[in-house]
A and B are shown apart, each in its own frame.
Chain A
Amino acid sequence: MSKLGLIIKREYLAKVRNRSFVIMTFLSPILMVGMVVLIAYLTKINDSETRVVGVLNESVFYSTDFGSTESMSFVIFEDVSLEQAKDSVINQNFYGLLYLPEGGTAEEVANSAFLYTKEAPISGVVDRLDGIFRDRLRQQRLLELGVTPAEFASIDTDFQLRTETFEGERNLKGLNELKAFIGGGFGYLIMMFIIIYGGFVMRSVIEEKTSRIIEVIISSVKPFQLMMGKIIGTSLAGLTQFAIWIFSASLLLFAIMSFMGLESQALESAAVMPGPGVSELSAMNPAGSEMQLYANELMRIPWVMLIFFFMVYFVLGYLIYSSIYAAIGAAVDNETDTQQFIFPIILPLMLAIYVGFFSVFGNPHGPIAVGFSLFPLTSPIVMLMRLPGGLGEGGVPIWQLVLSIFLLLVTFIGIVWLAAKIYRVGILMYGKKASYKELFKWLKY
């Protein structure tokens, strides 16, 4: 076996046999599924809580408008003063008291109405009450204009604009978001992987320094070989872990779903991406044909292309970042000294995720999205958010993809070269507190 192969094998086994790795591998899916179930459960509780609002209506209007719903119910007070009503609302621990004073017109009443609550009211309650007044007032004015309630009801429609591309393909509302969500899932995966396994690489380097074995090893192999072996071995361990997770998580999810008989819909909406996109959208548009369209669109997302480029960006992005992590590990003597160096590398990752979610979702091909998908430290995440929209016309222009990968490759070579230099010097430095200035000096050794 080649030396690199030996190193990869050792690093892999050292990682995989580690007790905490084994525990994490088997505990995580349970935690993950537990979390999903918990979220689904909490969401249900949250929805089912009914808020009781007392209504003291001294006017002649709105008397029929306060109908209870699942999330809100009303208790109508009669023949009591405002103070008495307030007291009894507090005593009975109602959510609040809506007070409608006397008034000549519905409008007058609405304008002088008040909601009293213990704390600032949540927006759901206020929106609902606003809506009651708004609907009533609108109806009132329409009546004044000569529109009957029946006519009004027939006017009120649920309308959605249908859109098409110039080629005549039907577009669906929220499809860009959905696609970005899928890409975002991939991007998020890359970020998590980099942060977790980059950290492992770093700790492994520090361990070799503190156990003083490093010089024994680099008298046999090149520091670069050791660094790459470590990065590759650790990431293979990570991939193993991911594979186990995906497999066992889906197994568990399936088991729990069939065991508890929970609606898959409820689970999905709380589950990992891209689940929420799908179920939310289908919930909004329950019509079968729409669902079919979304399903078709999902099928039309170029999965093969996406997974291929996921691999490309994943490998390059991970190698760039983990070699920086390796260099950091080499530069310090113990883990507590790493903080000052870690923040600057997590920063672009966070930036990529946030820019991705806020900017790429809205407009996958806008200038910000394009810029960040070209910039090498963010492109692995941002470009993957754009790619589900397709390549070429209507999607990511080929030149952007090529340029992005080219820049990433150049950066990869540059960063690995720099990191290897720092690594080479750093692993033999003991007791020296590394500063950025010091690191810069090492580059010239």
Chain B
Amino acid sequence: MNPILVADRVTKRYGTNFALNNVSLEIPSNSIYGLLGPNGAGKTTLIRIINQITYPDSGKILFGGEPLLPHHVSMIGYLPEERGLYKSMKVGEQALYLAQLKGLPKAEAKKRLLYWFERLQIGDWWNKKIQELSKGMAQKIQFIVTVLHEPKLLIFDEPFSGFDPINANIIKEEILHLKERGTSIIFSTHRMESVEEICEYIALLHNAEKILDGKLSDIKKEYKNNVFTVGMIAQKGDEILKELSERFQISASSYDPLESQVEFKVKLPSPDTGSFLKHLSSKGTVNSFVETIPSANDIFIKTVQSKSTHE
């Protein structure tokens, strides 16, 4: 499938500092894409470039195969990290205004708003001012405003910061629902674990550079290092652990003599687990054997470390 968005060697500096250095990305259509990295890595700058709030010094952005142009803003929905609404403006009026700025005709905007208000059960807020609403309520409005014009690409910058768990869940469900209906979604966050489970693709940014990108499952495959978490029942667990640690890299080991339960992590020299399992079976009963998949966080730290040792 064609990528919805392509960034091609995008560079942006502020004074002498690079905010983005030669970053290239491809964001596949109808996917959930995680833009990950610590604060100051350049995520927000990249997102602002996609939203045409700032412009790259060099490099280009393609949206649906075309060079990014002003009219594309109506096909993008953006929930910035620094978000808010006019405090003294009424909810309905404000949502209509923002939708019209995105190019929706007033009548259509109103129809859709009523649909969303119904869906999120906030119908009676139309004439309330934002300052009368709680923070969680205001964020529901903010979400509706972001998605109202049915953009092809939705960008969420630190989406779940500030949401309480219940609202965060509602929003997450809505986002997945939008994805089912064909929307492409970018999540940008420094809390990598928060989006890991829903992202199909990720890119890692660090110090203005992209250090890794691709399908999350592929990356994990690439980064898994034959580490397995093992649980077994054996009589002389401490002896088994001792023996194993002479031949393999063993970590996080424990032995509970009362239950005869042995737990440990082992790093095998190859993905082939057959002979090792056979060996274990001869010593006791294996009751769990799970491959340890690295988290995005682990991968990030690993990549950054290997980068800095290369340099």
Contact = CB atoms under 8 A, between A and B. Distances in A.
Interface of A: 1, 3, 6-7, 10, 14, 18, 207-208, 211-223, 428, 430, 441, 444-445
Given A7-B101, A215-B80, A428-B48, 19 more contacts: A3-B101, A14-B89, A211-B86, A211-B87, A212-B83, A213-B85, A216-B78, A216-B84, A216-B145, A219-B52, A219-B73, A219-B78, A220-B74, A220-B101, A221-B101, A223-B53, A445-B14, A445-B15, A445-B54
B76 interface: yes
Contacts of A18: 88
B53 A220 contact: no
A6 B97 CA distance: 7
A217 B82 contact: no
B212 interface: no
Nearest to B85: A213
Nearest to A5: B100
B80 A10 contact: no
A18 B86 CA distance: 13
A214 to B, nearest CB: 8
List the 8 closest A-B pairs by CB distance, nearest first: A212-B84, A215-B80, A220-B101, A219-B78, A219-B51, A211-B84, A212-B82, A213-B84
B85 A211 contact: yes
A218 B53 contact: yes
B142 to A, nearest CB: 8
Contacts of A220: 73-74, 98, 101-102
B51 to A, nearest CB: 4
A3 B70 CA distance: 13
Contacts of B74: 220
Nearest to A211: B84
Interface string B97-139: 1101110000000000000000000000000000000000000
A445 B15 CA distance: 7
B78 A10 contact: no
Interface string B57-98: 000000000000010011010111011111111000000011
B170 to A, nearest CB: 20
B82 A215 contact: yes
A214 B82 CA distance: 9
Contacts of A218: 53
Interface of B: 14-15, 48, 51-54, 70, 73-74, 76, 78-80, 82-89, 97-98, 100-102, 142, 145-146
A281 to B, nearest CB: 50
A430 B82 contact: yes
Given A1-B100, A14-B89, A211-B87, A216 B80 contact: yes
B99 to A, nearest CB: 9
Nearest to A217: B101
A207 B87 CA distance: 9
A176 to B, nearest CB: 49
B100 A6 contact: yes
B54 to A, nearest CB: 8
Contacts of A444: 15
A142 to B, nearest CB: 78
A335 to B, nearest CB: 16
A217 B87 contact: no
Contact of B15 (A3, A213, A216, A441): A441
A14 B53 contact: no
B101 A6 contact: yes
A201 to B, nearest CB: 16
A14 B78 contact: no
Contacts of B51: 219
B53 A213 contact: no
A445 B13 CA distance: 8
B53 A216 contact: no
Contact of B98 (A14, A216, A445): A216
Contacts of A216: 78-80, 83-85, 98, 142, 145-146
B53 A215 contact: yes
A75 B311 CA distance: 104
Nearest to B51: A219
A6 B84 CA distance: 19
B200 to A, nearest CB: 24
Nearest to A9: B97
B97 to A, nearest CB: 6
Contacts of B80: 212, 215-216, 219
Contacts of B70: 222
A213 B101 contact: no
Nearest to B155: A219
A222 B178 CA distance: 27
Nearest to A14: B89
Contacts of A7: 101
Given A6-B97, A217-B98, A445-B14, A14 B86 contact: yes
Contacts of A222: 70
A213 B95 CA distance: 12
A53 B83 CA distance: 74
Contacts of B53: 215, 218-219, 223, 428
Contacts of B82: 212, 214-215, 430
Contacts of B85: 211, 213, 216
Contacts of A430: 82
Nearest to A19: B88
A10 B106 CA distance: 14
B83 A215 contact: yes
Nearest to A221: B101
Contacts of B78: 215-216, 219
B27 to A, nearest CB: 17
5 contacts: A216-B85, A219-B78, A220-B101, A430-B82, A445-B14
A441 B85 CA distance: 29
A191 to B, nearest CB: 29
Nearest to A208: B86
Contacts of A219: 51-53, 73, 76, 78, 80
A420 to B, nearest CB: 14
Given A215-B53, A216-B78, A219-B78, A10 B97 contact: yes
A428 B51 CA distance: 13
A427 to B, nearest CB: 9
Nearest to B149: A220
Nearest to B12: A445
A10 B96 CA distance: 11
Contacts of A6: 97, 100-101
Contacts of B76: 219
Nearest to B82: A212
A218 B49 CA distance: 12
B70 to A, nearest CB: 8
